[in-house]
Structure 1
Amino acid sequence: MRLPDAPTRHRPALPAGPAAEFTEAWLRNRRLSEHTRGAYQRDVADWLAWCAGHELDPLRTTFLHVNEFARTLEATLAARTGKPLTPATVGRKLSAVSSWYDFLVKLGAVDANPVAGADRPRIDRDHSNTVGLTPAEVDALLAAAEAATGPTAARNLAVIALLADLGLRVGELISLDVTDLGAERGHRSIRFVGKGGKARRRALTPGTAYTLDAYLSQRAASRGGPVHQLTGPLLVTATGARLDRHSVFRLVRRLAREAGIAAWARLSPHSLRHSFATTARAEGVPLEDVQDAMGHADPRTTRRYDRDRYNLDRDPAYAIWAARSRRRG
């Protein structure tokens, strides 16, 4: 049964050009990382293709059409895993389409956002499908990178060190440029654009700073010049191109396999980000400091990354009891 179109009234036409060009205009209006921008572009393209396949005008859809699209997504098998798309993936795709419609509403091209009334999937914010690493496994991964030899060994160690010690997103990592390195108030630091287009800065640990210095010195020596003349991407391939996320995924899994980590085939750069949050909290770093370091707007997101949050050793009852004992003693 064909669902009814939304009621219409006279509306201004969309900007001239194909839908892809209009989507680009929407994306330029958002502060997004390159990775997020690409994902949103694909998500909206999927929606437009679904509308075309159902002979629907995207400007005349209702929440009923969005619900039908969502059910289609839930039945779609992911190319990488062969399993149905997760609720989080479906939710992200609908969020992208919703943002697209919000833009159309502001332009006056549609009366309302049809995604607003749609039935979005329930997402468990206390759970993440990402496989984390224990501190010992992170140590083993770093040891495997340190033991490696070859022309890319120094760069690979720098990649793992940045992921392990700073908990960077892979998109943030590969977007770094040499000029993002600096020093502030006695700290070696690095600046980058985080999620949402927000400018951020992080301190480099002495170990990570040393690793980066060694890598850049080797890179400069191979070019026959000093380090201060290096420009462009911080992490490059053998040909000088910017390292891409697929190479980082492969690197993490290869080193994890060499390190004897059982779950190596299911790891990703994000595994190190989860480990960063869990280890920081286990070492007593306040939640708000971990939240700021990871660039999370909502502390609930940070807590989801903290895999050790249900450890009874951290039950606040112990702290209250110990404080009471000190007062009585």
Structure 2
Amino acid sequence: MSHPGFPVLSRPAAAPALPGGPVDFTEAWLRNRRLSEHTRDAYRRDVAGWLTWCAARDLDPLRASFLDVNAYARELETTLAAQSGRPLTPATVARRLSALSSWYDFLVKLRAVEGNPVSGADRPRIDRDHSATVGLTPDEVDALLAAAEADTGPTAARNRAALALLADLGLRVGELISLDLTDLGAERGHRSVRFVGKGGKVRRRALTPGTAYAVDAYLAERAAAQGVSVPELTGPLLVTATGGRLDRHSVFRMVRRLARAAGIPAWAKLSPHSLRHAFATTARSEGVPLEDVQDAMGHSDPRTTRRYDRDRHNLDRDPAYVIWAARARRRT
């Protein structure tokens, strides 16, 4: 059965894997999904890892069984992460298998395979109440922002803008680096920014006065260096010294460098995602309703938002106190 725009797949008796090329097919699968560019790249790497594993074992991915997927998963669990040097976390392994499962679901819909081998595999158990991301306290976030303010050099203004967007909006690093100048705007008296969030959904957020000031200062400096006015600037919002789009690795390095300058003990383990966790925790501790934090972070499930809230088990927030206080007021 052929489908316009997709590679023609068959199930030959011999061993060639995915006629038409696995890369072509993977791209067709990705085009069929509403995904941010960051997620698209991650899924592309996830499927490529599986295809490489299959090729090393002369295994046709069209004939893989759940036993093969199990063997792959167990090998992933012992693979060392490039950044940390530690084995991949269960969440990372589960995410890779989830991407692979979506890939096979697409193959099933095209009748290239009879069933999805990932569906019967033994996936890692994920503790939904725990996150491996190292968090930051409000004081540490303040210290990080202060370090950015004190920083000097040709990229200091850009770094202050990037850090403000991460801290005040809780953006994912992929959302941050994907921002273009045309994404900045104003809505009903609010400075705003639009971006494509997880799942390919277009979202908008308000810029706080502090974040707007940092962004404006950076763009003014960038325009002056180019000899143009701010409205004449084009392209990505955050750029490198050569004018290219800032990448996620540069943001990781920037966060850790400034965290070290700020004297934060866990600086070497921090990531841009640490600021996203801090955003959720601080918002909840300041009384922002869970549903508002959930909407701001773009989570479809409130349980995900709760997992980001590092202070959720603090006994100061136990609702028993609220119930007791209300009862005491009624008795007076």
Could you state the TM-score of these two structures normalised by the residue count of structure 1? 0.94
Aligned to 1:212: 215
CA distance in 1, matches of 2:115, 2:33: 20
The amino acid across from 1:137 in the alignment is E
1:267 alignment partner, one of 244, 267, 270 = 270
The amino acid across from 1:130 in the alignment is T
CA distance in 1, matches of 2:226, 2:72: 53
Aligned to 1:242: 245
2:175 alignment partner, one of 160, 172, 177 = 172
The amino acid across from 2:297 in the alignment is M
2:23 alignment partner, one of 16, 20, 25 = 20
Provide the secondary structure at the position in 2 that maps to 1:182.
strand
1:300 alignment partner, one of 296, 299, 303 = 303
CA distance in 1, matches of 2:123, 2:49: 17
Mapped pair 1:321 → 2:320: no
CA distance in 1, matches of 2:61, 2:9: 14
CA distance in 2, matches of 1:54, 1:242: 38
Q: Does the aligned pair in 1 maintain the 2:256–2:267 contact within 8 Å?
A: yes
CA distance in 2, matches of 1:96, 1:242: 26
CA distance in 1, matches of 2:77, 2:221: 48
Mapped pair 1:64 → 2:61: no
Post-superposition offset of 1:16: 5.2
The amino acid across from 1:57 in the alignment is D
Post-superposition offset of 1:38: 1.4
Deviation string, structure 1 residues 197-238 (Cα, Å, up to 9, x no partner): 000000000111111111111111111121111111000111
Q: In angstroms, what is the RMSD of aligned CA positions?
A: 1.3
Mapped pair 1:54 → 2:57: yes
Mapped pair 1:101 → 2:104: yes
CA distance in 2, matches of 1:207, 1:45: 42
1:84-233 equivalent positions in 2, closer than 5 A: 84-233=87-236
Long gaps (5+) in structure 2:
1-7, 12-17
CA distance in 2, matches of 1:171, 1:131: 18
Aligned length: 319
CA distance in 2, matches of 1:90, 1:212: 37
Q: Does the aligned pair in 1 maintain the 2:9–2:20 contact within 8 Å?
A: no
The amino acid across from 2:72 in the alignment is F
CA distance in 2, matches of 1:115, 1:212: 45
Long gaps (5+) in structure 1:
1-10
CA distance in 2, matches of 1:266, 1:215: 28
CA distance in 2, matches of 1:296, 1:216: 30
Aligned to 1:77: 80
The amino acid across from 2:10 in the alignment is A
The runs of at least 4 consecutive aligned structure 1 residues that moved more than 3 Å come to: none
Post-superposition offset of 1:79: 2.3
CA distance in 1, matches of 2:156, 2:213: 14
CA distance in 1, matches of 2:9, 2:209: 57
Q: Does the aligned pair in 1 maintain the 2:141–2:167 contact within 8 Å?
A: yes
CA distance in 2, matches of 1:272, 1:81: 19
Aligned to 2:15: none
